[in-house]
Structure formats: C-alpha cells, structure tokens
Amino acid sequence: MTPPASTVAGAATPATPASQSPAATTPGAARAATGRGGLALFGLFVVAMLVLPHVGAYPVFLMKVLCFALFACAFNLLIGYVGLLSFGHAMFFGFAAYVTGYTVKAWGWSPEVGILAGTATAAAMGLVAGAIAIRRQGIYFAMVTLALAQMVFFFCLQAPFTGGEDGIQSIPRRALFGVIDLKNDMTMYHVVLAIFLIGFVVIYRTINSPFGQVLKAIRENEPRAISLGYPVDRYKLLAFVLSAALAGLAGATKSLVFQLASLTDVTWQMSGEVVLMTLVGGMGTVFGPVVGAAVIITMQNYLAGMGEWVLVIQGVIFVVVVMLFRRGIVGEIAARLRRG
C-alpha cells in the first residue's frame, strides 16, 4: 500500500524539469540541512531531559510534561499532517489510563503489560471511532469525535470499574519487567523519558516516510490524491488509529506516574487543552507540540496558586500567540530562520 516517494511528492508539489538540475538540488540540500538540524535539536533535547532532574527540576513535573508532550505529538500527527481536527482525543488518553490503572491494581498485571493493554485498547477505540468519523470532513468530523468522546466520558462516569467520580486511586508502581523498581521517582522518570522517545521516534519516522508523504498530500489537496488512485479513507483511518494508540500510550503512562486515573482525563476540556498545546507550540511541526505542552504545563504548575485566573492567563497567551505567532512558537522561529 505504500507508494514510491517520488509519486507521493508529485501529489503535493509539481515536478521540476530536468533542465533545472542546479535548482533541483536545492530542495534536497535544504531537506538534508533541515534533517541535520532536527537531529541536532533532538540530541540537545535528550541531553537536556537527562540533565534537568539533576539540576533541581522536579522529576514528577518533568514526567507530566513528557506525558502531555507525547499526547500533543500524537494529536499533531492527525491535525498537522492529515488536516483532521479531533475534539475527542481525550477519550483515548483517559480510557487508556483507566484500563492500565485497573489491570495493574485489580488484576495485578505488571506495568509494561498494563501499559500495552491501555495502548491496545486506545488503538481499538481509534479503529472504531475513526471508521465512523472519517466519513465526514471539517467541522462535522470534529463534532463526531466530540460526540463519541462524550459517550466515553459518561460511560466512565457510570461504569463500576472506573470508580465513578473518585476514579482509580493508589495504582501501584510494580517492578518493570520484574527488575526495575518504579517506586523511585528518578527511575520512573527515566522509564517515562524512554517511552516518550520511542513514541516521538515513531511519529518522526511516520511523517518522514512515504506513508507520511501521502498524508501530507491528502492534507494539501485531497481531491488530487483521490484522482491519483490513493485510498484516502484508508490512509486517514490508519493515521487516526496510530494517533489514538500514541495518545493512549501517553495516558497509560500518566496513570502510573500519578498513580491515578480520573474523569479529568476524559473530559472535553482535556481535548481542548491538547489542541491549545499544539497550536501554541506550532501545528505541523515536529517539536512544536513538545514546546506547547511544556509551556502550558509550566503555567498550570507555577500559577496554580492563582486559581481560576490560570485559565484567563492561558486565554491571553493563546490570543497573543495567534496574533503574533500564527505558525506557533516553533513554527514562527523556523520560518524566520529560513528567511534569514
């Protein structure tokens, strides 16, 4: 099903004549330079995340940032590279947290199996929800995902195993693979960092693969992609399932970090929050959701004493970003560097 990269590129951009060979090499050189710059940035990010806990940063706070950064990256895969706005991604994030929390606490499963169970459940939910939602486009797609998410919310509110409004509390941190003690916050932090990096690399590889090029072509010109013979609905569904699975991975990990799975994780406000993170950081950029998640979580953490005013401040920052950084923080910086 994966087409040649050259064919996909033709769906998004016109072909360059062979007579313009010097100019034709410029985009390739630019992409190579961008790839090297992205690799260097990724390396700096990994080094920074390894150093921060040892220079005074609170490991639990950093783990929260990483979980939400993975959640935002998963959402960005759908909206930034396929052009599908989901208002219901919290259902995958939150329900995976419930599944992981329940299987680990009630059934005594090990953490790695519980996380896999939560991720697999989110992927299955993504398959069902995606098969329904992709039949519509634009605001109708968004409303369908919101309706499905509200159904999941009320199910979680009423289902016996979720604990209702109390949620699932005191989820144990058992030994990972039977040998790695997750009760220690520093050990748990390094496990969460490893999970985030795995999810991030999966997303990065996806968007830079021939499959990812088709997704970009669908985003830019869906009728043309259809005319070229691509099964657009199948590509959309695969992207939706992958995005749901990674969102579930983030939620499952978060339930072990905080030893809690609650209704907060499946509310429509959580879906709105991940939209905000993605837009603030830069929709359609690789590192934008990570920056957006860090900004929003930092604000929530350090401005918590201000109560409801945190929401007002978030709204003001969102308006400022939309007015001054239309591509998001990372997107605007990247655009200015290219112009320079």
Following DSSP, what letter does each residue of 48-66 receive, concatenated?
HHHHGGGGT--HHHHHHHH
How is the chain split into domains, by residue range?
A: 56-267
pLDDT of the residue at 147: 95
Residues 6+ apart with CB under 8 A from 180: 187, 191
Going by C-alpha positions, the residue among 143, 139, 128, 63 that lies closest to residue 95 is: 128
Residues 6+ apart with CB under 8 A from 87: 142, 143, 145, 146, 149, 268, 271, 272, 275
32-80 confidence digits (pLDDT tens):
545 565 677 788 888 988 999 888 789 999 999 999 999 999 999 999 9
Q: Is 180 helix (H, G, I), strand (E, B) or coil?
A: strand
Give 44-47 contacts, CB < 8 A, sequence gap 24+: 45/287, 45/290, 46/197
- The stretch 152-181 carries a mean pLDDT of 91
**Would you state the structure tokens that stand for residue 166, as one six-digit string?**
């109390």
Q: What is this structure's pTM?
A: 0.87
Q: How far apart are CA 210 and CA 213, in angstroms?
A: 5
280-326 confidence digits (pLDDT tens):
888 889 899 999 999 899 888 887 777 777 778 878 877 887 788 77
Q: How far apart are CA 251 and CA 68, in angstroms?
A: 8
100-157 confidence digits (pLDDT tens):
999 999 999 999 999 999 999 999 999 999 999 998 888 999 999 999 999 999 999 9
Taken in order 175, 176, 180, 184, the sign of the CA dihedral is negative
Q: Is 176 helix (H, G, I), strand (E, B) or coil?
A: strand
Phi and psi at residue 280, in whole multiples of 5°? -65, -45
Q: How far apart are CA 79 and CA 279, in angstroms?
A: 10
Q: How far apart are CA 39 and CA 30, in angstroms?
A: 14
